[in-house]
Structure 1
Amino acid sequence: MSMELMVKAMKTKVGNPLRKLVLIKLADNANDQGECWPSYQHIADQCEIGRSTVKLHIRELEKAGFLRREFRRKGELNQSNVFHLSLDGGAASDLGGGAGDNPPGAGDNPGGGAAAAPRTSHPYEPVNEPKPMVTPDLLVGFEQFWKLYPKKKGRKDAAKAWAKLKPNDELHQTLITALGSHCISEDWTKDDGRYIPNAATWLNGERWHDVLKPAGVSSSSAFHGLPNHTQEMYPEVKSGANF
């Protein structure tokens, strides 16, 4: 940790509270030369924010000139980036500041007198943390889930439900396993799948916890009542294997 960089990071104005937190975390990891190489996930865990949010703010810090990323690889594997911090220029020059950065009549010295009340927003950017729509990072595994789900209605709502759920590897496997069991249940196989809920309903309602009664016929027969694409996705069911 470089105390000098930590002090500079605390004094640097970046226009967003979470972006400031990310910058301080980088300074906390940096050596005296301003170099550090924490992973995105480590920064996210320490700052208690999402990994995609960390990446967004690092890109903005890089655009503003507060850091430079050095991408590293070892053979075919990606390694964590090396971040080179540069906090000597000050916020005014890096953010294209000047008189336009301050509201009319505000003093140039942010620490001077009672008139220099702390500001909670900036004209060039709102303080509120951006809330991106569904991003690729949040949809890891969704394509597989959607391909396996027998009722192809409401894909957009299903994608939002998946992003909200943010399943880890363990939960992802639980969802796929439960989906296989539900596909051969009595509720889902009768009346040509009339009672299969939309995927968003299934996810939002945590329906994978439902214990459904197996179909009254053999698993193989029940399975043949499902659409062809579902049969192709679950060869274990076709062969009579249990989930």
Structure 2
Amino acid sequence: MNHTGAGEREAVPDPDTLVAFERFWQVHPKARQRDRSFALWLAAEKSGADPQRIICEAQRYRQVNQGKDAQYLVSSDRWLEQRRWEGEPGKAFVSMDERMRGIEATAEMLAGKVRAGAPVVSSAFSPAILDCILGKRLLTVAQLQGAGVRV
């Protein structure tokens, strides 16, 4: 048994908590300060946070920031401390399905503008939107290039 200096028994985390934290630790793109991160994980669980949501949001954080230099990423302990899985302050949580529906709707709208010959801003064509446009065959590469979009 583990004991603190005061003679109180330390709580031993259940195996599900340990497994969930380990999954988070593996997916977070800047896993640092393991002990501190684990303490923050336990505090989040205790406050009612859903471990699966934390893991999913850590995966999303990894995907969104893929290829970025680590110095620009928030470390796992700060990410947990700032409750980043809840999204940005003032913004509602958006599920991956909702995000994909938004990308598809934007892709269809932009493709319609290109087909109609309307002016478009090339910066509106994110890699995800371009993937959607090309994947759904809404436009060809030649049509996109003709509208001034770099593909």
TM-score w.r.t. length of structure 2: 0.45
Greater helix percent: which structure? 2
Structure number with higher relative contact order (C-alpha < 8 Å, ≥ 6 residues apart): 2
TM-score w.r.t. length of structure 1: 0.30
